[in-house]
Structure 1
Amino acid sequence: MKLSSIISDGMVIQRDKMITISGESTSLQQIHLIFGEKQYETTADQEGNWIVKLDPMEAGGPYQMTIEGDDKLVINDILVGDVWVLAGQSNMEIPINRTLDLLEADVESIHNPQIRHFKVPQEYSFHDEKEYLANGQWKSAISDDKMHFSAAGYFFAEKMYEKYGVPIGLIETAVGGTPIEAWISEETLREFGGYEEELEKCKDDIYIEETIMEDENRNEEWYGKLNAADAGIQNRWFEDSVNTEGWSDFDVPNSWEGTELERVKGAVWFRTEFDLPESMVEGVDQGAKLKLGTIVDADDTYVNGTLVGNTGYRYPPRRYSIPEGVLRPGKNSIAVRVITTQSTGEFIKDMPYKLLVDGEELDLQGKWKYKIGVQTEALQPQVFFRNMASGLFKGMIAPLRNYTINGVLWYQGESNAANPSGYSKLFHALVSDWRKYWNLGEFPFIFTQLANFRTDDEKPEESTWADFREEQRKSLENPHTAMASAIDLGEYNDLHPQDKKTLGQRYALCAMKLAHDEDIVYSGPLFKKMERKGNEIHVSFDHVGSGLTAHDGDLKWFRISGEDGQFVPAEAVIKGKNSVVVSGKDVHRPQHVRYAWADNPEGANLYNLEGLPASPFTTE
């Protein structure tokens, strides 16, 4: 007897809808299934495949399911409630334990066994669409398990459970760094056009195996040479007492740009010393934590010669627990080996660099000492086949299509933002694709409009992220969709903003409207139309709720263009319940208006009175 791993202990199945349970057994095997107070029977086909359709049930549980064929399987602790798919890339994937700088107090109180989470194994396929998942377990939002839930998904579920008291099942099928094309079926991409070469190339298993082997060998050789030639390893610069006379100064946090390190690829060692205050000494036994912001690209971090943590790439926050007995009264040392593979090294600014002991903090910012351990050539980037067309659809979406769901939450786009043209068409293709494959009608599809973020080459007049958000706004033309804007939730220096609680609550508002038909304000203001009146442009909005408002003073981030097509800062004033009047000092024949048109329009402040932010837009 073979079942997909998602049909397992602790699962949540969708209430009020017919449920499909499928599996494999021996040819023509009689299958007997008991669930709740009902019994079901079917016969496997010649290949051993069988399907049982369960009658709709009201929310409740826990229940037990027994399946008998050539084996007997018992599935325990089954809840009936609402099931949501969490899909996209890293911002959907970010777990609760990556949000603790902001949400630690909220996380401490989480204990909800009625909220369950299943993480789909991250596997691609370029041949057949997978029928079954081989790995994965349902986890409850309790104890340490909660720390690995999708943060955005959990806070969505928490709000929904608070509102309806119904068990929530979250199926996370997200992979960091992936473009939308990876999540669309091959059939649809071929109809779309332009992906044929990539689709065919990835069907060559030998090509994939050789490419992966080449990447692995190149990485192994690069790191092998790096470690063998690193003077810091040879001379043990990580140890407690190292003479740093002759080392150079570096202000932490800071970028290597503009310094002698700017072009360095390899390993650079940084050291600092600090005195542990008497007030912190007693608290050391209760646990100490080192926060080192985020670092480009990788690091090995030592305290008093003891390795306390390492991270292999640039995005995760460096939050390292210091083992008992490592810190001591008086003088202590920190050594950080920073490895740069392709990017310019950096200790990212405006992040915490501190030691925490029993509620007390010691600031670690300031002058550190550094010395180059080894300088080498850049490590060539590897090929990520998980990013290739249709691979994740076949590997991570297709195996879910018999699992009845209530809807989808989608957070994706950073990997497409550099080339935004046509994204709304791809998104339409994806939504149609998934609805066809699940065959559950036009189920709710709720997506995130990308958060504010400073890219490396920010030029407000040429913002690809602004263009991309406009493509997302256009995506609302898809029926039964909603957009949760994150334009005020971002962090200019972090691609992965931590405020997933507010985002989850905005998802929940959209779900209350789409899935439960609640009469609520679920969206921030959306551009509706414009009207030119003399030297002014009057902009009207939908989803204004009780009315428009400006947070923190006058409206910001409005720009206006004249006949020359150049956008300049504008004055903007709210008029009535649903309009903004925009004008420019020297613009006498205004043509168009833009709002929050930048990668990082921090401080954009048009909201409805319900507290939801207006989406960025252009009237062009």
Structure 2
Amino acid sequence: MLYTDADIASKMVLQRDTEVPITGGAAPGETVMVRVIRNGKTLAEGESKAGENGRFTVMLPPVSGSREPCEAVVCAGGESLTLTDVLYGDVFHITGQSNMELPIFRVFDPLDPSKPFSGEKRTPDNPYIREFRAPITPCFDPAAEDGYWTSGCWLTSEHPRAAEMSAVGYFFAEELFSRLRVPIGLINTSAGGAPIEGFLPYEELRRLRCCDEFLDFASVPGWMERTAEEDNRRCREYYAMLDREDRLGERVLAGNYPDGEAVSLPFWINGFSGRIWLWTEFDLPEDFDCGEAMLILGTLTDSDFTYINGEKAGETGYMYPPRYYPAGKTLRPGRNRLAVRLDIFGGQGGFTYGKRWCIKSGDSILDLSENWHYAKAVSAGPLRPATFFQGLPLALYSVTAPVYRRKFKAMVIYQGESNCHNAERYRELFTRFIGYYRERVGREIPVIFTQLPEFGMNDDSWAVLRQAQLDCTLLPRTAMAVTIGTGEVNDLHPINKWDVGRRLALCAGRLVYDGEGYAPVRCTAVKQEGLTVRLIFSEDVTLSRRENSYFEAVRGGVPETVRAEQTAPREITLALTSPQPEQIRYAYMTSPAEPQLFDRDGAPVSPFVVSVN
């Protein structure tokens, strides 16, 4: 039976101006012919024979980019397939972890309709930006390498799931489209929680000696299946125990409240695992429009069921997604009851600080931060989390492997959060990932990567990893988008993906299209004269007028904030309070949320550490 691979399908975008492979399956030995037709004219054609395994690859000659669609007709042994609405443009491989995976619908901000996809427009509307979402199926077989995708589909602006496109990917593509006016295709293999080791094959991981003990047991046949079965059993028993021992739920939902402790939001409890109930009551005026009302509770740790007037308003099974629950069917004018059943698995949980807790309808907002009560329903030991397979080394190699057989312009990657626990090795691991990737693609393909933004951690691991990412820009044909100022201290998944996408597109413009190469602004020289240090940069910079508190002199391992002023277009002068520092640091902290140094394009300069000597 004749077929094409999942990404060789209607609505696909093929790379312009180069040979492209059309792949699939047919009867062994069968001749397969492919023709690309536009308005009755053949633009490209080719043929090949299916191998003994029934697989074929037909190489098509180059076709120029156009917003006018084509048809690709595939024929073999009396069968034919017609792939419609095919476009030629520029194709990018986008990958990484959850911040690249984060879909458009997750950047919705119900409190600020001026933000992209937060007003009346909630879905993408550019028909020339398309994304193939590869299926994410972790695999730990050392010999496994999928040559092609058997599932997945191209998402377009007309697709019912259009809002599932990567938000970073879409904003990146939108910015490029405004410049190039050719279709942009995205092949998305990102997966939440993926460490950089997750994209490397077994042999490379063994050479790096970064996870030998893990590979020894994870590569044993059946390990993942047995582990998943045990995890599921353990979690089911834990959840069943919470339900069985909960004596408060029915009372809270009926408004017959137990004795509880008065609290306000944000509420957080430490040293506890199990189930708690929180409740409050509030009044809505008679003229309050309940129909379009939304309950907004920020993010919670860990799992919640939320009820309004005893009816379920929404549920979320883990800590990261924002709780935006439609409330129009459960609210009513007058007195209302709100209850949250919160299951806490890891010894601490509650409502995330710095969020908003309210009911919104149109321009009306009712604050819900006060007058809460809570009570413990079930005290239990911590629940060991289920194994997060896609967050492990090797897991995503076979998912990524098919992309090596495709033609595309560059790779764009947003990754690093899952490597912060071992940030000191990131430069080595990421360098090898790029090297291996280029070996498999067969050329020095451009690589554009995203430096981590700010986030509230209790150590300097994110600062260390940002420095490692900056060091990786020394690799040829790479560019890095600096994203400090786009993050959220209290959210691992900040919604400002439009600035991230645009900064990545700026990198692509310089690296891929302008032929300039793209090196981030660097401090190239440090000149100390008594109690002043002059920092010389590789290009013009601008120090903001705000009070600058991000420059530090490090002496004996102890950092001290120093005053900075701009003394020349490429020069910043620091006033020291102690002589002979060993290092100068800029924005070397977990959450540099307000950048103070900018490049010629108005983008933030990367945080950095330089030796005074």
Contact 2:520 2:605 in 1 (8 A): yes
Secondary structure of 1:467's partner? helix
Output the CA distance in 2 between the equivalents of 1:560 and 1:75: 61
* Deviates further, 245-254 or 365-374: 245-254
Residues in 2 aligned to 1:104 and 1:246: alpha-carbon distance in whole angstroms: 43
**Contact kept? 2:563, 2:575, Cα under 8 Å:** yes
Q: CA deviation digits over 1:395-422, x for unaligned, max 9?
A: x211222121111111111111121112
CA positional deviation for 1:255: 1.9
Question: Corresponding residue for 1:506?
Answer: 503
Aligned-residue sequence identity (percent) comes to 33
The answer to whether residue 325 in structure 2 is matched with residue 320 in structure 1 is: yes
1:249 is aligned to 2:262: yes
2:103 corresponding residue in structure 1: 95
Look up the match of 1:375. Answer: 379
After superposition, residues 389-404 of structure 1 pair within 5 angstroms as 389-394=393-398, 396-404=399-407
Note if contact 2:543-2:565 (Cα within 8 Å) is conserved in structure 1.
no
Alpha-carbon distance in 1 for matches of 2:349, 2:16: 51
1:106 aligned onto 2:116 = yes
Partner of 2:548: 555
Aligned to 2:492: 495
Q: Which residue type is aligned with residue 611 of structure 1?
A: G
Instruction: Tell me what 2:472 maps to.
Output: 475
User: Per-residue displacement from partner, 1:325-377 (whole Å, max 9, x unpaired)?
Assistant: x2211111111101101141121121121111133211111120112121111
Q: Distance in 2 between matches of 1:6 and 1:483?
A: 28
Aligned-pair CA distance for 1:47: 2.0
| Count of equivalent residues | 595
In the alignment, residue 252 of structure 2 is paired with which amino acid?
W
Structure 2 match to 1:259: none
1: distance between equivalents of 2:363 and 2:131? 32
Please list, as runs of the form range in 1=range in 2, the aligned pairs for 1:567-582 lying within 5 A after superposition.
567-582=559-574
1:56 Cα offset (Å): 0.9
For 1:143 and 1:556, locate their aligned partners in 2 and report how far apart those are by CA, in whole Å.
Answer: 48
* Contact persistence 1:555–1:606 (CA under 8 A): no
CA contact (8 A) 2:45 2:61 kept: no
Instruction: Please give the alpha-carbon distance, in whole angstroms, between the structure 2 residues aligned to 1:363 and 1:518.
Output: 53
Query: Within 2, Cα distance between the matches of 1:237 and 1:104?
Result: 38
Matched residue of 1:238: which SS? helix
Contact 1:524–1:613, Cα closer than 8 Å, also in 2: no
Note the alpha carbon deviations across 1:116-137, whole angstroms, 9 max, x for none. Answer: 1111111122331011212111
Question: How far apart are residue 610 of structure 1 and its match?
Answer: 2.5
**CA gap 1:591/1:105 in 2 versus in 1, 3 angstroms:** closer
Q: Deviations over 1:526-554 (max 9, x none)?
A: 33232222222221222x4xx32223423
Q: Does the 8 Å CA contact 1:185/1:433 hold for their aligned counterparts? A: no
- Answer yes or no: is the 8 Å Cα contact 2:274–2:381 preserved in 1: yes
Q: For residues 204 and 250 of structure 1, do their structure 2 counterparts lie closer, same or farther at Cα, with a shift above 3 Å needed?
A: same
1:184 matched to 2:200? The reply is yes
- 2:168 aligned residue: 152
Q: Deviations over 1:255-274 (max 9, x none)?
A: 22xxxxx2221111111111
Give structure 1 stretches of 5+ with no counterpart.
Answer: 257-261
Aligned partners of 2:103, 2:222: CA distance in 1, in Å? 35
Matched, 1:450 2:452: yes
Residues 105-114 or 446-455, more deviating = 105-114
1:168 aligns with one of 180, 184, 198: 184
Amino acid at match of 2:204: T
Distance 1:367 1:525, change over 3 A: farther
User: What SS class does the counterpart of residue 5 from structure 1 fall into?
Assistant: coil
- 1:557-602 C-alpha deviation (Å, 9 max, x unpaired): 111023x3422111111121112112322x1223320111111123
Amino acid at match of 2:553: I
Secondary structure of the corresponding residue to residue 51 of structure 2: coil
Residue 244 of structure 1 deviates from its aligned partner by 2.7
C-alpha deviation, 1:142, in angstroms: 4.5
1:198-209 residue pairs with structure 2 within 5 A? 198-209=214-225
**Which residue identity lines up with residue 555 of structure 1 in the other structure?**
N
Shift of 1:74: 1.6
Q: CA deviation at 1:193?
A: 2.8
Please point out which of 44, 58, 71 is paired with 2:64: 58
Residue 297 of structure 1 contacts residue 343 of structure 1 at CA under 8 Å; is this kept in 2? no
1:488-540 Cα offsets, whole Å, 9 max, x none, are 111111111111000100001001111101669x7763332322222222212
Tell me the equivalent position of 1:363: 367
2:19 aligned with 1:18, yes or no?
yes
Give the TM-score, by structure 2 length: 0.93
Structure 1 residues 142 and 43: CA distance shift in structure 2, 3 A = closer
**Offset of 1:144 from its aligned partner?**
5.0
| Aligned counterparts of 2:114 and 2:337: Cα–Cα separation in 1 | 27
CA RMSD of superposed structures (Å): 1.9
Unpaired segments ≥5 residues, structure 2:
none
Residue identity matched to 2:70: Y
Equivalent position of 2:87 in the other structure: 79
State whether structure 2 residue 550 is matched by structure 1 residue 588. Answer: no
d(CA) in 1 for partners of 2:163 and 2:468? 33
Question: Alpha-carbon deviation of 1:62?
Answer: 1.0
Query: Are the equivalent residues in 2 in contact too, given 1:560–1:583 (CA < 8 A)?
Result: no
Aligned equivalent of 1:117: 131
**TM-score for both structures, normalised by structure 1:** 0.92
- Once the two structures are TM-superposed, the CA of residue 323 in structure 1 deviates from its matched residue by 4.3
Greater displacement, 183-192 / 24-33: 183-192
Matched residue type, 1:576: A
Could you tell me which residue of structure 2 aligns to residue 307 of structure 1? 312
Asked whether the equivalents of residues 192 and 390 of structure 2 are also in contact (C-alpha less than 8 Å), the reply is: no
Matched, 1:67 2:61: no
Query: Which 4+ stretches in 1 moved above 6 angstroms?
Result: none
Q: Which residue of 1 aligns with 2:240?
A: 224
Structure 2: which amino acid aligns with 1:338? L
Contact 2:251 2:258 in 1 (8 A): no
Contact persistence 1:32–1:40 (CA under 8 A): yes
Residue 25 of structure 1 contacts residue 50 of structure 1 at CA under 8 Å; is this kept in 2? yes
C-alpha displacement of 1:143 = 6.9
Residues 594-617 of structure 1, C-alpha deviations (whole Å, 9 max, x = no match): 111111123331112531111111
SS in 1 for 2:501: helix
Q: Is the 8 A contact 1:244 1:369 kept in 2?
A: no
Residues 244-301 of structure 1, C-alpha deviations (whole Å, 9 max, x = no match): 3622111112322xxxxx2221111111111112342xx323x211110110111001
CA contact (8 A) 2:192 2:391 kept: no
- Tell me how far 1:105 sits from its aligned partner: 4.3
Matches within 5 A, 1:216-295: 216-233=232-249, 235-239=250-254, 242-244=255-257, 246-256=259-269, 262-280=270-288, 283-285=289-291, 287-295=292-300
CA distance in 2, matches of 1:375, 1:511: 53
- For residues 167-187 of structure 1, the C-alpha deviation after alignment (integer angstroms, 9 at most, x for no partner) is 111111111112110011223
DSSP-derived class of the 1:214 partner: helix
DSSP-derived class of the 2:135 partner? coil
Kindly state the Cα deviation for residue 428 of structure 1 after the two structures are TM-superposed: 1.0
* 8 Å Cα contact 2:197/2:392 also seen in 1: yes
Contact 1:536 1:590 survives alignment (8 Å): no
1: CA distance, partners of 2:386 / 2:290: 42
**Aligned mates of 2:346, 2:598 — CA distance in 1:** 40
Amino acid aligned to 2:533:
I
